[in-house]
Amino acid sequence: MALHALKYCERLFYLEEVEEIRVADGRVYAGRRLHEEVADEDTTNERRSIELESEEWGIFGKADAVRRRDGRWIAYEHKRGRSNQAEDGSPLAWESDRIQAIAYAVLLEEHLREAVPEARVRYHANNKTARVTIDEQARQDLRAAILRAQTLRNGNLRPPVTDDECKCPNCSLAPVCLPEEERLALSSNEASPPPRIFPQHRDRQTIHVTTPKSRIGRSGMSLTVNSEHKAEKIGIEQIDCVLIHGYAQISTQAIQLCSSRDVPIFWLTSGGRFLTATCNAGRVKQRIRQYESLTDLSMRLRLAKRLIHAKIETQLKFILRATRGAAEKRDACQTAIRNIRSALAAVGNVESNESLLGYEGQAAKAYFSALPQILGKRVDNRLKPTGRSRRPPKDAFNAALSYGYSLVQALVLRSVLAVGLEPAFGFYHQPRSAASPLVLDLMELFRTPLWEMPLIGSLNRGAWNLESDFDTAHDHVWLSPEGRKKAIEIFEARIKESYKHPFNGHSMEYARIVELEVRLLEKEWSGITGVFAQMRLR
């Protein structure tokens, strides 16, 4: 299968076999089903699903079937798609299928110690069988493919995207590889957006468990969530992440199921503070590249400047948008707007992350001073912020703000893990708390659009109730269970909203945009620069 990937596209081979990124989409499941269907009972003249290995060739694999025809054994490979066609109209195996079939034939030959002169590829979509001759040319082609695979495996760089663009829409790794985005970045033709390959929507859901006595367990390939009032069963294929808020319990079996399917689990305190998460072991080559790049001071500064410029510009645009057509509000925000603009103008010229922190702080101070002005007059003054307070939040606004930031943090962390980067290794924030620096870095792009804007919108709509949504003790305010539920609903609704990403010109859910930005960040040290941090308000 690795040789098949290699012949289809070298980048696909590298992503799957070296970086160990595998995406099971509908086509992959359909292919697996086909192989299960053909892996039936063995007969005298046929053996199915046979594992073969050769030290001499340095390969192993599982042939779909080997059959005896006219006293000779033949290796069979089954494919869902259609065959290629020779000039005379006879069915022809595609090159990637041909190499895979040759590999099974030589493995079989060695196993049986007798010549296997032919392999066959059965194409189910057009019901044709292509024959592959196992001659000296076939052996040479196989040798060359194995050598190429070894060379790629020893390298640290991802091969470029394939020149044959037709292959990408059928490739299960397209949402990871982002071929069109990469071609766009390399091309000077900005006239039209590339075709959409990165999906607009998430195809799975996040499970939030907020009720204290809930129990999360496992039943077959599903998670069960039992609370006092209801019981739910959700197939693991439908889940992208589990967030446990507070004291719900989860069984070892459920943790094992989630881990085996790369579904991360996050634990947050009832107050929304991030505690910890499960994460996969990581992909070594990918992380080596990340470490090497993010220890380069010029790279760190370049990325930090792009990030903070995007953050401040988004803050500025939000205030301008919220005060548009409202002269009184705009007047009240004039000083803040001026200060944010001057910080924004300075960011491009800074020469260290420390100076950048200073301008970011200047903009943040001005921005937070403007937020009470853009909350409507009807909003209860006790729901308006009195400055920024974090640990502990000292007013209702800050309590809601901090809780939402934890939800943003969990979303960014799971995107970082999904992409395969090391969350602890960032380029701007210093390691200080349980939060990972790279996650804190990336959150700067999303705090305003994913939480501050919907929070302020919901306050202006009168969606929050001071009595039922908040609990207070001394000078510490936090969200009540109802308040937490409300925050989660607002956040989940927000990340399902679509936004046209400036880079590829396509609308996609905010949750997808977070992952897209993480992937674009990785491209900054994979040969395509200037693509990260284009996310900002229009």
* Positions that interact with ligand SF4 (CB under 6 A): 9, 11-12, 15, 161-162, 167-168, 171, 173-174, 177, 179
Length of the chain: 538
Instruction: Return d(Cα 136, Cα 105) in angstroms, integer.
Output: 13
357, 311 Cβ separation under 8 angstroms: no
- The nearer residue to ligand SF4, 49 or 162, going by C-beta atoms, is 162
CB of 23 to ligand SF4, least distance (A): 10
- The nearer residue to ligand SF4, 153 or 390, going by C-beta atoms, is 153
Instruction: Return d(Cα 430, Cα 414) in angstroms, integer.
Output: 20
3-class DSSP state of 454: helix
CB of 186 to ligand SF4, least distance (A): 12
CB of 161 to ligand SF4, least distance (A): 4
3-class DSSP state of 75: strand
- The nearer residue to ligand SF4, 195 or 530, going by C-beta atoms, is 195
CB of 9 to ligand SF4, least distance (A): 3
Q: How many CA atoms lie within 13 A of 258 on its CB side?
A: 26
CA distances from 26 to 169, 209, 359 (A): 13, 28, 47
Question: At how many degrees (to 10) do helices 510-524 and 297-322 cross?
Answer: 150
CB of 419 to ligand SF4, least distance (A): 15
Q: Encoding tokens for residue 77? A: 């490979």
Residues 6+ apart with CB under 8 A from 512: 198, 199, 200, 201, 202
- The nearer residue to ligand SF4, 197 or 234, going by C-beta atoms, is 197
CB of 63 to ligand SF4, least distance (A): 25
Question: Residue 528 phi/psi, 5° resolution?
Answer: -120, 105
Q: Encoding tokens for residue 118? A: 């032919």
- The nearer residue to ligand SF4, 178 or 535, going by C-beta atoms, is 178
- The nearer residue to ligand SF4, 161 or 511, going by C-beta atoms, is 161
Instruction: Return d(Cα 112, Cα 423) in angstroms, integer.
Output: 49
CB of 174 to ligand SF4, least distance (A): 4
- The nearer residue to ligand SF4, 11 or 494, going by C-beta atoms, is 11
Burial readout 71-99 (b: 16 or more C-beta within 10 A, e: otherwise): eebbbbbbbeeebbeeeeeebbbbebbbb
- The nearer residue to ligand SF4, 306 or 523, going by C-beta atoms, is 523
94, 104 Cβ separation under 8 angstroms: no
Question: At how many degrees (to 10) do helices 481-496 and 453-460 cross?
Answer: 120
- The nearer residue to ligand SF4, 98 or 429, going by C-beta atoms, is 98
CB of 80 to ligand SF4, least distance (A): 17
Question: Residue 392 phi/psi, 5° resolution?
Answer: -90, 160
Question: At how many degrees (to 10) do helices 353-374 and 334-347 cross?
Answer: 160
CB of 175 to ligand SF4, least distance (A): 9
Name the CA radius of gyration of the chain, rounded: 28
CB of 27 to ligand SF4, least distance (A): 12
- The nearer residue to ligand SF4, 3 or 161, going by C-beta atoms, is 161
